[in-house]
Amino acid sequence: MTRASGSSILKAAVRYLVPLVFTVLLVAYMFRKVDFADMMRILGQGVDYWWILLAMGLSVVSHMVRASRWRLQLRALGVDAPYMALCCSIFGTYALNLVFPRLGEVWRCTYISRREHASFTTVLGSMVADRLSDTITVGFLFLLTFAVATPAINSFLSRYPVGQDIVRIVGSWWFWLAAAGCVVAVLLLFRLGRHCAPIARLRQEIGRLWQGFAVVGRMPGKGRFALLTAGIWGCYFLQLYIAFFAFPATRALCAAPGLGWGLEPCLVAWILSTIGMAVPSNGGLGPWNLGVIFGLAVYGVGTTEATAFSMLVWSSETLMLIILGIFTMAYIASGRKKTEGDAAEMASKL
């Protein structure tokens, strides 16, 4: 075995085994205090599954809106892909990420660039802009959430020693001084080490990320881009809020005017689960669920009820992604047959 092949195997193992290990450990942690018999009773008797089906349908809408937003970016870069192809590229991305985390984004760029005979780097840059837009949106929603729900979160954290430590650390001046010092150190490293090969490559990658994002500021239809971004994240939020009506414990939160008829607890659970998706895992299993469970615990929902809720919502979304993945495979296969048929017909006429 050559050194290059050994390095490739090691990278693949790290890329795909680390998320699997995270998934297993976090799921084990999540279920450590769950009464399985009680959870199965809740899932078997206390759930209105029509609300879950509605949330599943809304997830499809969110992917279609994302395809519309990506279409704006690609057109600004001279790539005019059919809308259905873009929808399937999004469907396939999330379906593939269930098995191979983060590989879906590479696949969708490869699929569209080959289909449209476009530069892979150009398409990748638009995907980078797509993801950076989401990161900025999540940051804004994170600040909004903690501004709205600060009393409830502080009350919850104050009941646990680790929560008190977190509040004390984040509120201290030396924490922010250390954070500022880290930022300055990174900037100096990039400045002084710009001739070092690894730093130079990293600077190049960051420059490419910025170029991919900058196209959003230059392209026509920036207002529509912002509107579609709001539509994507609005769908994500409504998916979880609709699912609240399926369970008695979360439905009770929706009947509380003091909690914004469930909007506040849903916002907390939603933003924490969204941030949890940054942890590498298969399809978000583990970190997404723990985010939801923690958010619901802030408002008094028990561990078993919250775990049952998170597992059913995650499972229904996963099922929908599998269905959409199968649809994507069928769409791509039919497109190939049509292309081969057209080529054969053209050859027969020559």
More confident call, 94 vs 43: 94
pLDDT of residue 39: 72
- Quote the tokens at residue 100: 């191979």
Calculate the CA 129 to chain-centre distance.
15
More confident call, 264 vs 175: 264
Whether residue 313 contacts residue 52, with contact meaning beta carbons closer than 8 Å, is answered with yes
> Poorest-confidence range of 215-219, 227-231, 269-273?
215-219
Own/partner long-range contacts of 305-310 (Cβ < 8 Å, ≥24 apart): 305/42, 305/247, 305/249, 305/250, 306/249, 307/30, 307/31, 307/34, 307/39, 308/39, 308/42, 308/43, 308/247, 309/243, 309/246, 309/247, 309/249, 309/250, 310/273
> Poorest-confidence range of 239-248, 278-287, 341-350?
341-350
In the chain, what percentage of residues exceed pLDDT 70? 72
> Which one-letter DSSP state was computed for residue 257?
G
Write the single-letter amino acid at 117. Answer: H
> Highest-confidence range of 33-47, 52-66, 205-219, 294-308, by mean pLDDT?
52-66
Distance CA 233, CA 165 (A): 32
Give yes or no for residue 347 having a pLDDT over 50. Answer: no
> Poorest-confidence range of 4-8, 104-108, 144-148, 204-208?
4-8
Give yes or no for residue 322 having a pLDDT over 50. Answer: yes
Distance CA 294, CA 160 (A): 13
How far lies 90's CA from each of 59, 195, 240, in Å? Answer: 12, 38, 20
- Quote the tokens at residue 30: 């999540």
- Identify the CA nearest to 303 among candidates 88, 36, 14: 36
- Quote the tokens at residue 306: 């919250």
> Poorest-confidence range of 19-23, 159-163, 253-257?
159-163
> Poorest-confidence range of 55-64, 120-129, 185-194?
185-194
Whether residue 109 contacts residue 86, with contact meaning beta carbons closer than 8 Å, is answered with no
Three-class DSSP category at 103: helix
Categorize the per-residue pLDDT at 166 as very low, low, confident or very high, splitting at 50, 70 and 90.
low
pLDDT of residue 158: 66
pLDDT of residue 135: 86
Whether residue 268 contacts residue 259, with contact meaning beta carbons closer than 8 Å, is answered with no
Spell out a b/e string for 76-103, using b for 16 or more CB atoms within 10 Å of the CB, else e. Answer: bbebebeeebbbbbbbbbbbbbbeebee
